[in-house]
Each structure stands twice: as structure tokens, then as C-alpha cells.
Amino acid sequence: MNNYQAGREKIVASQTSNHSGCNPGDIDGDGIDEILVAGHNRMHVFNGDGSLLWQKHLTGTAIYPPSVAVMDNNGTLGIIAGYRGRAQ
């Protein structure tokens, strides 16, 4: 994956054409949305400034954009991702 900066925008280039989409969500609780991107067999989470926060290998193909939602009664956010296969 290559990153290019143009002004204040962050452009992320990928070597795959199979992207299910992306969604914003403040998953680290700092008040700034991260960007969740699913494509082919990987999920990437980028900080608000465009730098990579983490990535996860999927053993299947992402078929829906990842989403952020409250997963328990304590308000803890979790990531929901639909893909064919299973997480490692």
C-alpha cells in the first residue's frame, strides 16, 4: 500500500480492485474519527491524519464496508466487518 499526500487530503493507493468500502469511527476514543477500510483480504484502520493505525489480515474477501458500533452495555465500541471466510 502506498500513501500520497496532496494538500490536506490523504490518498491511499491499493494493489487490489476489490474494495468493499470505508467508514469513519472514533475507535480509540481520542475524539477524532479513524477511517476503516476493507479491501480484498485485509482491513486497514487509519488515524485521522491518514497514517496507518493497524491492519488485520482476513482469511476471506471483504464483502461489506466495516462499521463501528457499541458492542456492550458499557458503551465500548467494536468493529463489525462482513467478509467471506474467517479472521485469523
Beta-sheet pairing, 77-80 with 83-84:
unpaired
CA dist 49 and 62 (Å) reads: 24
pTM of the model: 0.69
Which SS3 state, helix, strand or coil, does residue 25 take? strand
Instruction: Give residue-wise pLDDT tens across range 6-20.
Output: 445 555 545 445 556
For 40: left if phi > 0, alpha if psi spans -120 to 50, otherwise beta; the answer is: left
pLDDT tens readout for residues 42-81: 888 999 888 999 998 887 888 888 888 888 888 888 888 7
Residue 21 host element (H or E):
strand 19-25
